[in-house]
Amino acid sequence: MSDIVLTRTGWIPRVVRDGDGLRLQLGAGANANHDPRTFSFPISKAHLDVLRDDLARHLLLWVAVLPLCSAAGTEGPLDEDAAVALLDPILLGSPAEVDAFLRDVPTELITLVRYGADIALMERGQLVESLHAATEEADIQRAQTYVANRQRAKRGVVLAPLDEAVLKYVGHYIHGSTRPGRNPDAVDPELLPEVLAVVATAEQAAEGLEIHRDPRRGKHATDKQDWKRMTTAVEEALGRDHGRLAADAVRSVAFLICSEAADRTKNSPEPDRVVGPGAKTALTFTDEDGGDEQEWRANDSTQGAAAAFWAFVTEHSGNDVFTVEDKNLGEGVQVHFYADTAARVTTAVPGRNGAEPQYRVEYALVDGMSGYRALLDTFVGGGCAALDPHGPWMLDPEELERARKGRDLGKSRP
């Protein structure tokens, strides 16, 4: 069993006595089962003395050895000769010699940031001096901030103090894709009023807009078209009233406002919009892809027809074609989610004396979920005869296909 000779906090390599010798031991990488791997290589008493007295040299040796551990992969051995070759140049050289040596050696500099390196000195290659205030305690957030700023710099993004404050408020200063929130304590109190003014502008722009659920994509999915509409409204308002805000800050505020709007409706039941004496009282819902069918009767259901249909769609999400039919009147609506189109079907010639009825089928384009909701509400409230405003309705499927392609081409144009 090895005796520990020198240890520091966290993952900083430790020195152990192995028989009559000393070895530097560190955990790095993982095996095929994702368990951490442990590596070690021999060092001398002179190296131990430096490691014990000089945290900066200890950290620099560590970040130079880490790439060798990565090269070992999930099963390979550490290249001990290469590791030993790092010892004298890093631990026994002068600061200038160490800096010159490390310019030609792969290192994980982000680790130095985590342990307090002066970033400006580090980026100038003055690694030893950059660690004059290094600590044994890692600051993960400092390293994450450094990476985020580097990535923004690569995109040519320069943040003003207000941009930084807005991103910190939303929770996107480090990770721009995380779930947004409101974090006033993360903002410099002097900048907080300006940040709140930015958010207030966004809230006013989104007033009256909603982000509904999209039952076509499951129980908790939101309507992408609604999201895009609200995003556009917020971004335009911020561009008008806060034109100096960086695009990153504008996007994050829009994301915040849209996420909050979606949360207000995500877990809410589909509202019943159709009431009155003319509304349908008995309908059949059919999943044309899966062959499932459900009867709905007003007297037997706690939901209105529209809410019940969208619940049926949610249960069969992933399918693309559904029908709502009033069998008593011989009319119905078929929706084609894959193409944003619909068909209304009416009985042209009733079936008599054993003959099959003949149906009239007309097609129309539909503008996303809002269009489908309006179409269904109109049908439930007044049947196929009330659907004329949702046209133009086309008898020829080829004419519908031409209209659909023309619409889709128009959407793809900038």
Q: Render 98-140 in DSSP notation, one character per residue.
A: HHHHHTTS---HHHHHHTT--HHHHHTT-HHHHTTT--SS--H
Kindly state whether residue 361 falls inside one of the protein's structural domains: yes
Kindly state whether residue 277 falls inside one of the protein's structural domains: no
Its pTM stands at: 0.74
Coil, helix or strand for 285? Answer: strand
Question: Considering its fold, how many domains does the chain have in total?
Answer: 3
For the stretch 209-232, pLDDT in tens is 999 888 888 888 889 999 999 999
- Per-residue pLDDT band at 274 (split at 50, 70, 90): low
> What is the chain's Cα-based Rg?
33
For the stretch 103-155, pLDDT in tens is 999 998 999 999 999 999 999 999 999 999 999 999 999 999 999 989 898 88
Q: Are the beta carbons of 272 and 282 closer than 8 angstroms?
A: no
For the stretch 81-114, pLDDT in tens is 999 999 999 999 999 999 999 999 999 899 999 9
Q: How far apart are CA 370 and CA 373, in angstroms?
A: 5
- Per-residue pLDDT band at 1 (split at 50, 70, 90): low
State the average pLDDT for the chain. Answer: 91
What pLDDT is stored for residue 116 in this prediction? Answer: 95
What pLDDT is stored for residue 129 in this prediction? Answer: 97
What pLDDT is stored for residue 271 in this prediction? Answer: 66
What pLDDT is stored for residue 273 in this prediction? Answer: 64
Kindly state whether residue 275 falls inside one of the protein's structural domains: no
135 and 255 in a common domain? no
135 and 17 in a common domain? yes
Q: Which of 85, 110, 141 is the last residue of a domain?
A: 141
The structure tokens listed for 143 are 């390293």
Report percent pLDDT > 70 for the chain.
95
178 and 131 in a common domain? no
